[in-house]
Amino acid sequence: MEKAKMYGIGVGPGDKELVTVKALRILKESDVVMAPVMANGEKTAWGIVKDYIPDKEVIDCFVPMTKDKEKLKQSYDAICDTVETYLKNNKQVAFITLGDPTIYSSYMQVNDEIKKRGYETELIPGITSFCAAAARLNMSLCERNESLTILPSSYKDVREGLRQKGNKVLMKAGKEILQVKEMLREENLLDKAQMVECCGMPNERIYRDLNELDSKSSYFSLIIVKE
Amino acid sequence: MEKAKMYGIGVGPGDKELVTVKALRILKESDVVMAPVMANGEKTAWGIVKDYIPDKEVIDCFVPMTKDKEKLKQSYDAICDTVETYLKNNKQVAFITLGDPTIYSSYMQVNDEIKKRGYETELIPGITSFCAAAARLNMSLCERNESLTILPSSYKDVREGLRQKGNKVLMKAGKEILQVKEMLREENLLDKAQMVECCGMPNERIYRDLNELDSKSSYFSLIIVKE
pLDDT (tens digit per residue) in B100-117: 999 999 999 999 999 999
Cα–Cα–Cα angle for B29, B30, B32, rounded to 5 degrees: 145
**Angle at CA of residue B73, ends A169 and B68, nearest 5°:** 90
Reduced DSSP (H G I as helix, E B as strand, rest coil) percent helix, strand, coil of chain A, to 5: 35, 25, 40
Instruction: Using CB atoms, pick whichever of A17, A126, A142 lies closest to residue B103.
Output: A142
Secondary structure (H, E, C), A159-187: HHHHHCCCEEEEECCHHHHHHHHHHHHHC
Average pLDDT over residues B145-169: 89
Residue B129 confidence class, pLDDT cut points 50, 70, 90: very high
Instruction: Report the interhelical angle of B107-116 vs B69-88 (nearest 10°).
Output: 60
User: Could you give the angle at the alpha carbon of A162 between the alpha carbons of A157 and A167, nearest 5°?
Assistant: 135
Strand B32-37 relative to strand A193-197, pairing: unpaired
Who's near B193: CB < 8 A, 6+ residues apart? B184, B210, B223, B224, B225
User: Is B155 a residue whose pLDDT tops 80?
Assistant: no
Residues of A in contact with B152 (CB under 8 A): 142, 144-147
How much is the pLDDT for B154? Answer: 75
In degrees, rounded to 5, the angle at the alpha carbon of residue B177 between the alpha carbons of residues B172 and B179 is 125
Q: Which residue of B has its CA nearest to A123?
A: B135
Q: Which of A21, A29, A48, A160 to mutate to test the interface with B (most CBs of B within 10 A)?
A: A21
Pick the closest to residue A120 from A1, A31, A24, A7 (CA basis).
A7
Q: Do the chains contact at A17 and B12, CB–CB below 8 Å?
A: no
CB-nearest to B155 from A20, A123, A147 is A147
User: Which chain B residues contact residue A165 at CB under 8 A?
Assistant: 157, 160-161
Nearest to B125 among A103, A122, A131 (CB): A131
pLDDT at B177: 84
* CA nearest neighbour of B125 among B34, B22, B220: B22
A29 vs B145 pLDDT, higher one: A29
Mutation pick from A63, A73, A131 vs chain B, by most beta carbons of B within 10 Å, is A131
Range name among B21-25, B123-127, B158-162, B214-218 with the lowest pLDDT average = B214-218
Judge if ipTM > 0.90.
yes
Q: From the CA of B108, how many Å to the nearest CA of chain A?
A: 7
What gap in Å lies between CA A120 and CA A118, rounded to an integer? 7
pLDDT of residue A63: 82
Alpha-carbon span A55 to B132, nearest angstrom: 29
Query: Residue A212: what pLDDT?
Result: 84
SS3 of residue A124 by DSSP: strand
Residue-wise DSSP of A49-83? HTTT-TTS-EEEEE------HHHHHHHHHHHHHHH
Residue-level pLDDT, tens digit, chain A, 227 residues: 567 999 999 999 999 999 999 999 999 999 999 999 987 888 999 999 999 999 999 999 998 777 788 988 999 999 999 999 999 999 999 999 999 999 999 999 999 999 999 999 999 999 999 999 999 999 999 998 899 999 998 777 888 889 989 999 999 877 778 888 999 999 999 999 999 988 888 888 999 998 888 776 666 789 999 98
Ranges of beta strands (E only) in chain B are 5-10, 32-37, 58-62, 92-97, 120-124, 148-152, 167-171, 193-197, 205-207, 221-225
Q: Show residues of chain A in contact with B161, CB under 8 Å.
A: 147, 165-166
CA terminus-to-terminus distance, chain A: 54
